[in-house]
Amino acid sequence: MTSPIDAHVRFDTHPTHPTAVAAVLTGTQAHIALTALEAADWSVTATNILVLARIDHEEPYWANETANHLLAEGITVEITPRLQEAIDEEWTWASYPMPWCSRSEVREVSNQAQKIHDDIRHGHLLIHAHAHDAHTTVAVGTYLHRRGKSVYLHGEDHLRQVPDTFDSPAEALTAFEKAHASTMRPGPAPLTDTERAAAAARSLFDGTTTGTEPSRPSLETVPVYLADPGDHETLLSSFLDSNPEFEKRRNWSDETTYAIHESQTLRIEHIHNMDVREIAWTMAAYETPVSDRMWHLTATGSTPAPVLQKLLNHFADDGGWDTAVGAPVDEKMITKATQPLSDADWKHTVDGVRMRWTSPAGDAGVLFDAFHAQQRSQTMATWTIWAGSNPDRPTWAVTASPHAPSSLLADLFETLAHETGLRRLKAPGSGHRTSPASSYPAVTVNAAVSRTR
């Protein structure tokens, strides 16, 4: 007889989204349930917490389908009464444009629209252009995993369909421009309200709000540099959704995603499934598409989500053009960039060619290496930002090259000095809280450059 699987999944309504569903996993074999949920397009929002957030508002139905599948695999499943009520609810779309469809047919049409949405969100369907057509949106794109099949899309959210296909992107774009030249715009259309709500539901949230189980993990507010890494994959997806001027590309092995600005002078590299101790992110700026780097920075896989979000936002909004190639890193620039740390009473010390700023609690710091700053090599880290109990083996680290923009550094240091984030606590009764040093394996500060070119 097959041994029972030590995994328990508790399904409940989402704490803030009206139709999304949350799943909380427990048990020594919770990873088996997690794999099954991810295969069914559930998104990881925190450790052993997943969310199903769709654009067709059919989450309760598909959550029930997932529950039945898990039960068949020998996994224990619990559905809360309020979610069961949503599963059992009979409802219809108001003013549905295809009134001849039965409820199951409506669900099938919506599910096809959901698959299109997911293909776009996961980068499988690259949208070349969009346009307004009467009261809806149309678009043209190419599937990157279907031998270059191009499609014409009509509609939004749960009504989006594929009325036509093409053999090549050129053929598709030519036909699209002929039909929609007056309103045609490059790239994907702005997110709809429904798409934004679904993306927000997949963000990190406190799992304790979905029930009252005392064993469920909770969150505490801590200085931002002690916050949890969060879900870097979701962070990247949200960045690409919000900044369509960055084109998403994957390398041949699908282990790395590149986000390249339409100017070809701003580039982001994210290595997936990277050990948290290693460099997982590189952001780089170039004078021209074919020139050497102006500057770059790196971040390890354990970098707190709010810190990484600050870096991505500044990179997209400002591009970092306030630092000219070859401009010296002088005392005025250093003072301007580190002013937020001084204002927050971070301790400033000088050790030869190195300047240090250390948080009042000694659990985070900034290092400036004046020798590296004078070198032409882009492989040397002029700035190193870290957090943890030991600056030589920190919990996470960010490094920046000599000409990193002072405005970006000032924004980052302002965040470190004054902002807060969330950190998960161990379940009550586990004996102690999760400390900054033990939350994630320590990383070794390494100034080697990443592979973005």
Boundary of a domain, candidates 44, 67, 91? 91
What is the per-residue pLDDT across 325-372, written as a single tens digit (0 to 9) for each? 445 577 888 888 899 999 999 999 998 888 999 999 999 999 998 888
Residues 86 and 109 in one domain: no
In a domain, 57, yes or no: yes
> Residue 435: its pLDDT value, please?
34
In a domain, 39, yes or no: yes
Query: What band does 146 get if pLDDT is binned at 50, 70 and 90?
Result: low
Residues 85 and 112 in one domain: no
| Number of domains comprising the chain | 3
Residues 235 and 335 in one domain: yes
- Measured from the Cβ of residue 92, the count of other Cβ atoms closer than 10 Å reads 8
Q: Could you tell me what percent of the chain has a pLDDT over 90? A: 43
Residues 17 and 126 in one domain: no
Residues 249 and 113 in one domain: no
Average confidence (pLDDT) over 157-170: 93
Residues 87 and 178 in one domain: no
In a domain, 96, yes or no: no
Query: What band does 323 get if pLDDT is binned at 50, 70 and 90?
Result: very low
Q: What gap in Å lies between CA 218 and CA 204, rounded to an integer?
A: 12
Query: What band does 392 get if pLDDT is binned at 50, 70 and 90?
Result: confident
Boundary of a domain, candidates 125, 159, 183? 183
> Residue 324: its pLDDT value, please?
45
In a domain, 211, yes or no: no
pTM over 0.75: no
pLDDT at 438 over 70: no
Residues 228 and 304 in one domain: yes
Q: Is 88 exposed, middle or buried (0-12, 13-18, 19+ CB in 10 A)?
A: exposed
User: Which contacts of 357-364 are long-range, i.e. CB under 8 A and separated by 24 or more positions?
Assistant: 359/223, 359/225, 359/416, 363/223, 363/225, 363/226, 363/387, 363/388, 363/389, 363/436, 364/223, 364/225, 364/226, 364/388, 364/416
User: Which contacts of 162-168 are long-range, i.e. CB under 8 A and separated by 24 or more positions?
Assistant: 162/116
> Residue 432: its pLDDT value, please?
34
> Residue 327: its pLDDT value, please?
57
In a domain, 207, yes or no: no
Boundary of a domain, candidates 91, 115, 147? 91
Residues 254 and 385 in one domain: yes
- Which range has the worst mean pLDDT, 41-45, 83-87, 388-392? 388-392
In a domain, 152, yes or no: yes
> Which amino acid makes up residue 312?
L
Residues 19 and 41 in one domain: yes
pLDDT at 72 over 60: yes
Is there a contact between 385 and 302 (Cβ–Cβ < 8 Å)?
Answer: no
In a domain, 442, yes or no: no
In a domain, 450, yes or no: no
Residues 111 and 241 in one domain: no
> Residue 440: its pLDDT value, please?
38
Residues 107 and 80 in one domain: no
Domain extent at residue 111: 103-183
> Residue 434: its pLDDT value, please?
36
pLDDT at 209 over 70: no
Query: What band does 205 get if pLDDT is binned at 50, 70 and 90?
Result: low
Residues 146 and 233 in one domain: no
Query: What band does 251 get if pLDDT is binned at 50, 70 and 90?
Result: low
